[in-house]
Amino acid sequence: MNKKINNLFFQKIWKGRTFFMSCIVVVTLTSCNKNNDEIAAETQTNGMNAANLKKGQLGGQEITYEKKDGLNFFQGDIVLSDQQLAEGGTANKGGASLYKWPSGKIYYTIAGNMGSINVNKINTAVSEYNNKTNTQWIPRTNQSNYVEFIFGSSNGSDGWAHIGYQGGKQTISLDQYISVGSVIHEMGHTVGLYHEHARQDRDQYVSIQWNNIQDGQAYNFNKYTSGTDIGPFNINSVMMYWPNSYSKNGQPTIKRANNTNFTYNRTGFTTGDINTINTMYP
């Protein structure tokens, strides 16, 4: 979904960049010329069932996540494995920081029903990773550990992804109208990035507008403090939430720390995103 390497390092860097996230990246349009990502951010609904909310441990930190369709959704579009949640309090420290792809090689396949438009978006995003970062996305032959791009909604513009390397087959789901920037965002979760807005230092740069957040969704704006933020906070990171993510009234849920609005253009990597990923995968 449009929502830590936060540019967390695997965004903590997995944190928006923290280990799993840091970069966690973003379009300025008039009210009558919005792009699909903006529309998706504005029309997120309260479809979440409170009964599906669970408490768990990630990297030794208690988190809230949603159990839906047999998957563990964290911060909207990050899917955690049962193992990642179970390891939270162990010496392994769980969390994304330990789940890097061996040698930075990510094998992938694309579901046959994806459609040519989204296949082209995937190809463009793969080229961005292969040309600008130390990770390499490689078409799968017979590898047992790989990612499959699957087709999500035929009328949506969101996506979701398992975070970090989990072993076996894992998934990136893409809706029909998702942008290339948001494909890069979801692939960032696979690489190990969390959302940028969840970085430990975020309050120095942004202000969460709690009163504007949909009922039951405030947990998506909690900091992820168990990872390691990489590099400076980057409000334009491809891993950043939208200014109006989960808004209940059309007003911003995230502003700059000085309480002014900001415009987010998720078009691709920033230099900070690239540096974060390359720090994770030297």
Environment class of residue 245 by beta-carbon count within 10 Å: exposed (0-12), middle (13-18) or buried (19+)? Answer: buried
Catalytic residues: 186
Instruction: Give the residue ranges of DSSP H helices in 47-115.
Output: 82-86
Give the pairing of strands 7-8 and 71-74. unpaired
For residue 172, being part of any structural domain is answered with yes
For residue 46, being part of any structural domain is answered with yes
The reply to whether 197 sits in an annotated binding site is no
Domain count for the chain, please give it.
1
pLDDT attached to residue 58: 84
pLDDT attached to residue 49: 64
Domain of 170: which CATH number? 3.40.390.10
Find out whether 8 and 227 touch, Cβ atoms under 8 Å: yes
What one-character DSSP code corresponds to residue 240? Answer: P
- The residue among 114, 238, 122 whose CA lies nearest residue 176 is 114
Query: Domain limits at 194?
Result: 7-280
Per-residue pLDDT of the chain (282 residues; tens, 9 = 90+): 444 444 444 444 443 443 433 343 322 222 223 344 444 443 343 445 677 899 888 878 889 999 999 999 999 999 998 888 876 544 333 334 458 999 999 999 999 999 999 999 999 999 999 999 999 999 999 999 999 999 999 999 999 999 999 899 999 999 999 999 999 999 999 999 999 999 999 999 999 999 999 999 999 999 988 777 899 999 999 999 999 999 999 999 999 999 999 999 899 999 999 999 999 999
For residue 1, being part of any structural domain is answered with no
**208-215 long-range CB contacts below 8 Å, 24 or more apart?**
208/253, 208/254, 209/251, 209/252, 209/253, 209/254, 209/255, 212/247, 212/248, 212/249, 212/251, 212/252, 212/253, 213/246, 213/247, 213/248, 213/253, 214/44, 214/46, 214/246, 214/247, 214/248, 215/46, 215/248
